[in-house]
Amino acid sequence: MIKLTTPLHKDDINNLKVGDSVLLSGTIFTARDAVHKYLLENPQELPKGIDLTGAVIFHAGPNAKKVNDKWVITAIGPTTSARMSAYEPDFIKRFGVRAIIGKGGMDKNTKESLKNNGAAYFSAIGGAAALLAQSVVQVKNVFFLERFAMTEAMWELEVKDFPVIVTMDRHGKSVHDDVKKKSGKEYERLIGE
């Protein structure tokens, strides 16, 4: 088990390979379709004091509630990352992001971007949201809540030992490609019958 703390550095990422289990601690930012599109079109709108250099972006829309005026995450887990493939290569480059957490993997342009910018893609287990919420220590901030609402807002979360698996590394390897290739062979066999 590898333990990493944000912000992530080039060496942290270089040493990772697909299949590694990682426990992440520090700060992670959620961003889905809306935030990706908005910040790429309006980079000056990145909230003041927020630096995404070395940051971890989490494709997730939490279930949260306010307890005594403080936000508490009741459930959080990854959404399908493929929807963000249209933005991610530029987003990684533009903001210096070092890692993405999501589910299902991303396209070949993102894979190239991970390679060129020294970043990695982590898978968290989709649906295991009560369990993952246990690794969220606190909500540090929430941005664009008015504009995009709870699911699509940008949540700044402090996490401790948040469990992920490296499924796309910066060396061009992808578990998703491997599974697709292998299942593709079996698919051809079944369809051909």
Partner 1 sequence: MEITKHIIELYKKVATTLPSDVKAALSKAYENKEESTTAINTLSAINKNIELAENESKAICQDTGTPYFFVKYPIALSQLEVKKQIIEATKIASKEIPLRPNSVETLRGKTESDNVGVGIPVFYLEEWEKHDLQIQLILKGGGSENMGRTYSLPDTTLGAGRDIHGVRKCIIDAVFQAQGKACPPGILGIAVGSPKDAVARLAKEQLLRKLDDRNPVRELDRFEKDITAELNTLGIGPAGLGGKTTILGAKIAFMHRHPACYFVEIAYSCWATRRGTLTINEVGEVVYD
Q: Is 67 in the site for partner 1 (CB under 8 A)?
A: no
Q: How many CB atoms lie within 10 A of CB 94?
A: 15
Q: Which one of 39-47, 108-116, 136-144, 182-190 is the stretch in contact with partner 1 (CB under 8 A)?
A: 182-190
* CA 99 – CA 44 distance, rounded (Å): 22
Q: Does the footprint of partner 1 cover residue 19 (CB under 8 A)? A: yes
Options 35-43, 90-98, 124-132, 135-143: segment touching partner 1 (CB under 8 A)? 124-132
**Of residues 90 and 130, the one with the C-beta less far from partner 1:** 130
Among 55, 133, 159, 164, binds partner 1 (CB under 8 A): 133
The angle, 0 to 180 degrees and rounded to 10, between the axes of the packed helices 145-152 and 33-41 is 140
Task: Residue 168: name the closest of 22, 35, 9 by CA.
Answer: 22
End-to-end CA distance of the chain: 43
- Does 40 participate in binding partner 1 (rule CB under 8 A)? no
Q: Which of 150, 156, 158, 173 binds partner 1 (CB under 8 A)?
A: 150
Query: Does the protein bind partner 1 through residue 167 (CB under 8 A)?
Result: yes
> Is 36 one of the annotated active-site residues of the chain?
yes
What Rg value do the Cα atoms of the chain yield, rounded?
Answer: 17
Counting contacts by CB under 8 A, is residue 134 touching partner 1? yes
Minimum distance from residue 182 beta carbon to partner 1 (Å): 5
On the CB side of 109, CA atoms within 13 Å amount to 11
Separation between Cα atoms, residue 107 and residue 88, nearest integer Å: 9
Residues that bind partner 1 (CB under 8 A): 19, 21, 60-63, 65, 74-77, 79-80, 82, 103-105, 123, 125-134, 148-152, 163, 165, 167, 175-176, 178-180, 182-184, 186-187, 190-191
